[in-house]
Structure 1
Amino acid sequence: MSNKTKPNIVMMVADDMGYGDFGKFNNGFVNTPNLDNIIDEGTCLSQHYSGSAVCSPARAALLTGRYPLRTGVISPAETWGQDRLFIREKTIGDYFKSIGYKTGLIGKWHNGALDKKYHPNNRGFDEFIGFRGGWADYYKWNIEKNGQSYKSNGEYLTNVLGDNAIDFINRNKEEPFFLSVMFNAPHSPLQAPKELINIYTEKGVDLLTAIIYSMIQVMDQQVGRILETLRKLNLENNTIVMFTSDNGPAFTHRQDQVPHEYREMLKSNFISPDVNSPGYYTDELIHQKRFNCGYNGAKGSVYEGGIKVPMILKWPDGIPNVENSDQLVHFVDWLPTLLATTGSEIKPNLPIDGKNILPILRGETKKTDYAQFWQFSQYPPRVESNAGMRKGPWKLVRPKIDKFIDPVHIKNNKKYVQMDIDYKYKPDTVTEIMSEPWSESVLSGPIPKPELYNLDDDPGEQNNVAEDNPQIALKMENELRNWFQEVELDYVTETKNSKQ
């Protein structure tokens, strides 16, 4: 396949957005006409999963086609160094660059900060415009363009990212390009134009959700501008346009991530202090649920609400009619699948966990059921806590276990939170990761039994059928444990090697 016929790729990723955050799936409560139009003209994969329940590990899976623990990424804590992608890993940027593509990443990186070795320009991306941490203020942002820092001019950050994505497309229209647009919306801090927020609150939407829907609406506008640019340049038909989210919706936010002007209003008018209510607040957190199509759990959880995310896509020249849209797909599948669209032969430097699903999407082969896995326990990984596996209709869940946190770690975590804030607003004052130790996992209380769900019958994971299907549950538990031992060994071995 010549460079002129190789498809362009625009891979857009939202941050903390669930199925219920699309107008198409929530009866139009949020205004997303451009995203809805991609679904109408293309497809939405109905059984699509992130690589993790949280940001950095999910992105590592998307970048490498490998389970995140193998890549060294176990947590979003960039000022603790837990988001860093092992140097041995090749990224999707590396692979596409090697076959003649111009590669760009606009927006959120979150796979290695505070060290040039992990900079996107050194990880396969010719151009990087954005921020390397986990979040940024939408009005008082600090971003960089290929290593050069830029302070905010007051423009809303989502619009800035859209402008730069369009500029990249215009400058590279004559050659095949791979562009990853990593929006930070609707991740906190919860900030949006007031005129949009007022429209939602006037409809009766609670204030916190109104802010989030407004953030999503602005992002949808930028998606529309990107699509219009492709149309004007006659690139629409041979460009693979994709949109997904790194994980499910966040229902809990740190107090500092909610603007002062809304905080007291939320406490007095919208959110109860009762932790058993749909919305509550504590001294440190504000919690508010919103509609997510009945899925159990949210960001941080391996229940469906935390890891099942939409993938909407269209490619008129390559997949005019997507078949098998209910194929089980995992983030790790996209690297081999997208490379297959170019017709290029690539030999990965490390084993790829993902599968090329292009023949399935084209209807050339039948659906294939293969096992998929997740694990996220925040502190050094434990398979007994917040781990899951799916194969066919069956899903096994190891529920999250509360951990004992020692006083020293509580103190260290407070320092981490302050460093996290300083890195976003005063980046010159944070130049290296924390030296304090990362707390070891100490599980408190008994370890609960694994849960088993038949998602064909129970997509909301309300009916644990492990006792009714003991052989299936035991087999999947063993497969999950074996998988974890394999990827953990990979992680531990490379961690030791990288320190030598």
Structure 2
Amino acid sequence: MNIRWMVLSLCIGLYGVVFSSGLPNIVIFLADDLGIGDVGCFGNTTLPTPNIDRIASEGARLTHHLTSSSVCTPSRTSLLTGRYPIRSGLVTSHLLPVILFVASAAGLPNNETTFAELAKTQGYSTAVIGKWHLGMSCSTYQDFCHHPLNHGFDYFYGLPLTNLKDFGNSGESVVVSQMPATNMTLVMSFVLGLLSSAVLHRKGFISTKFTVLFLGLSTCLPLALYTAYKNITLLNSVMLKDFNVIEQPIRLDSLTRRFTQEGLEFIERQKRNQQPFLLFLSWTHVHTYLMTGSGFSGRSQHGRYGDAVMELDWGVGQILTALDKHGFTNNTMVYFTSDNGGHIEETEEDGSRVGGYNGIYKGGKTHGAVDGGIRVPTVVRYPGRIKPGRVVDEPTSLMDFLPTVANLMKAPVPSDRVLDGKDMMPLLTGEERLSRHEFLFHYCGKTIHAIRYRPRQGSDVFKLVLWTPGYIPGQMRCEFVCFCGHATRLSTPQLYNMVSDPGELTPLNVTQHAEYQDIVRLMLKALEEHQASVTPVPDQYAIMNLMWRPWLQPCCNFPYCSCQDPKYASLEP
């Protein structure tokens, strides 16, 4: 009897191996705010990134890989869905470019289909470890409508929001960095409310009852906003394991090591399960506040930023080693990229820079359509399909990831919606030489700031710039972020050849060249057709959705809102 069960178990195990061998495992590494000039295989000679470089040498390096947005929440939306984020309602028409509170109602709508949900249809085990920043709950604390486990993931360990400057020990605030006059604005709002109430009552325009109501609103709103932004760490420095709060506030110095360990344990479980898997490792490096473990502190010549890049690369290397160890390497597609370009305005307390380097490309994070904010360091490895050392110079997009892995997993993509991404495997393998994207549209919030055109012949790539960021006069940067609402519409759009002029330094002379005029007309016509394909959806970025809602606020060990992940409590800094 025991022998029969042993034989049966062996047959089941062999069946699992055969079944899973036809479906590749998928590993996604997503860095946060990493510049294309920060990585060795993209030209950096002063910051070692041997493990990211290894992926490039054993696979392909994508030199023209673009995000759909130069800021994280909309960019991550398009990575997960294969669609422009405006189709999901995750773009802004005001000054707030990202979800700012864990306890807000904004997030990735449930009617969107993610690559994790497609993987589940094919029997994959799925996990997301690290930063989510796509919402948590909608109406009640327990509904978890935007949570990763309601978007196709079996396991979540990480941040429902993001890493913020406020989480460090410098006393800096991300709100004040974005809006330096925050305190003065709130004080003036309070004073203006008092004066308006007094004047309106004195002139007889409002009764005493309405004066009290008006005065209450004028007082409470600035006070509530002040309280919220002064307590960002308490409200947002939260870690979850699945649906449970396990740490508050977050210990940043051990975060990358914990993410790495969780990834290693997930891979170990898959070895036992004999099941294809999809692992999404969404690092918090190199978003500020920057903290690393003692093993990386002070190792780089680029200060805390360089230390964080090196720790990020170490984490990637640990996962690659685990794939080797467990025999997964040859049947695993590995994709490394960043959610947007480096944040060139980011500084230390003393004013020194701690943001990324975007190489020859103009601008950076939040800068709308300039390539420094949307062209990201990307490498892909899939042994047996992608030849080692391949370089792809054709325009590709984060939106391409979903249709690419859907085809690899043999999962049908949704047919009831517009899918903007294209399968890029033919480019990666060399079967095709031309990008499947003839046009790409570059949004800043709800407005298209530029159009990219890849003609079907030749090697040129053209970019028509319609808006320019609201830069400080005489400089190529903003105060802290470039708000979309502060951008300037160009009276005459500027056309660039992104092959001969990737830094967008010299616009082409359109008025004196008929062929350029034809190109501009073609691009503007494509813009009209694209805009006609965008249908209205609920606005996730409506102010009421973004506002902090006390009843959605996670809090462990109530009322202290303070706890430490017991699994890693003994982990040294």
Distance 1:366 1:445 in 2: 36
8 Å CA contact 1:78–1:113 kept in 2: the answer is: no
Distance 2:253 2:469 in 1: 42
The CA deviation string for residues 333-387 of structure 1, in whole angstroms up to 9 with x for no partner, is 111111111234444442311112222322333423511112013xxx234xx34
8 Å CA contact 2:444–2:484 kept in 1: the answer is: no
Structure 2 letter corresponding to 1:107: G
- Equivalent residue for 1:95? 118
Query: Which of 299, 315, 319 does residue 365 from structure 2 map onto?
Result: 299
Aligned residues: 422
Q: 1:197 to 1:20 in 2, by over 3 A?
A: farther
Distance 1:325 1:182 in 2: 24
Structure 2 letter corresponding to 1:227: L
Query: Which of 322, 339, 345 does residue 246 from structure 1 map onto?
Result: 339
- Equivalent residue for 1:365? 432
8 Å CA contact 2:106–2:541 kept in 1: the answer is: no
Q: 1:185 to 1:227 in 2, by over 3 A?
A: same
- Equivalent residue for 1:35? 52
**C-alpha deviation, 1:153, in angstroms:** 6.0
Q: 1:69 to 1:242 in 2, by over 3 A?
A: same
3-state DSSP of counterpart to 2:37: helix
- Equivalent residue for 1:491? 537
Query: Which of 131, 135, 143 does residue 112 from structure 1 map onto?
Result: 135
**C-alpha deviation, 1:49, in angstroms:** 0.9
Structure 2 letter corresponding to 1:223: V
Q: 1:177 to 1:444 in 2, by over 3 A?
A: closer
The CA deviation string for residues 12-34 of structure 1, in whole angstroms up to 9 with x for no partner, is 00000111111233443112111
- Equivalent residue for 2:75? 58
Distance 1:156 1:471 in 2: 55
8 Å CA contact 2:253–2:291 kept in 1: the answer is: no
Distance 2:315 2:484 in 1: 42
8 Å CA contact 1:54–1:300 kept in 2: the answer is: yes
Structure 2 letter corresponding to 1:157: L
Moved more, 446-455 or 72-81: 72-81
- Equivalent residue for 2:447? 382
Q: 1:165 to 1:138 in 2, by over 3 A?
A: farther
3-state DSSP of counterpart to 1:166: helix
- Equivalent residue for 2:246? 150
Moved more, 20-29 or 294-303: 20-29
Distance 1:366 1:465 in 2: 26
Mapped pair 1:476 → 2:523: yes
Moved more, 24-33 or 69-78: 24-33
Q: 1:442 to 1:179 in 2, by over 3 A?
A: closer
Q: 1:491 to 1:449 in 2, by over 3 A?
A: farther
1:318-467 to structure 2, matched below 5 A, reads 318-321=385-388, 325-368=392-435, 369-377=437-445, 381-383=446-448, 386-392=449-455, 393-400=461-468, 402=470, 447-465=490-508, 467=510
- Equivalent residue for 2:268? 170
The CA deviation string for residues 434-492 of structure 1, in whole angstroms up to 9 with x for no partner, is xxxxxx987787654322110111011101115353332233234224423532x3436
Distance 2:372 2:152 in 1: 32
Moved more, 61-70 or 155-164: 155-164
8 Å CA contact 2:304–2:354 kept in 1: the answer is: no
1:196-215 to structure 2, matched below 5 A, reads 196-201=296-301, 205=302, 210-215=303-308
3-state DSSP of counterpart to 1:399: strand
Moved more, 127-136 or 232-241: 127-136
8 Å CA contact 1:248–1:307 kept in 2: the answer is: yes
**C-alpha deviation, 1:228, in angstroms:** 0.7
- Equivalent residue for 1:122? 150
8 Å CA contact 2:38–2:44 kept in 1: the answer is: no
Distance 2:320 2:486 in 1: 48
The CA deviation string for residues 251-307 of structure 1, in whole angstroms up to 9 with x for no partner, is 123x7xx5xxxx2xx24xxx4xxxxxxxxxxxxxxx667642211110112111111
TM-score, normalising length: structure 1: 0.77
3-state DSSP of counterpart to 2:537: helix
Mapped pair 1:187 → 2:230: no
Distance 1:242 1:138 in 2: 30
Structure 2 letter corresponding to 1:298: G
1:265-284 to structure 2, matched below 5 A, reads 266-267=350-351, 271=352
8 Å CA contact 1:375–1:388 kept in 2: the answer is: no
3-state DSSP of counterpart to 1:237: helix
**C-alpha deviation, 1:84, in angstroms:** 1.7
- Equivalent residue for 2:561? none
- Equivalent residue for 2:566? none
**C-alpha deviation, 1:130, in angstroms:** 0.6
Distance 2:519 2:492 in 1: 14
3-state DSSP of counterpart to 1:156: helix
3-state DSSP of counterpart to 2:21: coil
Moved more, 49-58 or 462-471: 462-471
Q: 1:4 to 1:199 in 2, by over 3 A?
A: closer
Distance 1:446 1:367 in 2: 32
8 Å CA contact 1:110–1:134 kept in 2: the answer is: yes
Distance 2:428 2:404 in 1: 10
Distance 1:343 1:446 in 2: 44
3-state DSSP of counterpart to 2:286: coil
Distance 1:444 1:129 in 2: 37
Q: 1:376 to 1:134 in 2, by over 3 A?
A: farther
8 Å CA contact 2:105–2:137 kept in 1: the answer is: no
Structure 1 letter corresponding to 2:385: G
Mapped pair 1:23 → 2:121: no
Distance 1:494 1:14 in 2: 24
8 Å CA contact 1:33–1:220 kept in 2: the answer is: yes
8 Å CA contact 2:468–2:489 kept in 1: the answer is: no
8 Å CA contact 2:466–2:489 kept in 1: the answer is: no
8 Å CA contact 1:89–1:350 kept in 2: the answer is: no
8 Å CA contact 1:14–1:184 kept in 2: the answer is: yes
Structure 1 letter corresponding to 2:118: Y
- Equivalent residue for 2:221? none
8 Å CA contact 2:39–2:377 kept in 1: the answer is: no
Distance 1:200 1:494 in 2: 40
Query: Which of 155, 159, 169 does residue 257 from structure 2 map onto?
Result: 159
**C-alpha deviation, 1:187, in angstroms:** 0.7
Bigger-Rg structure (1/2): 2
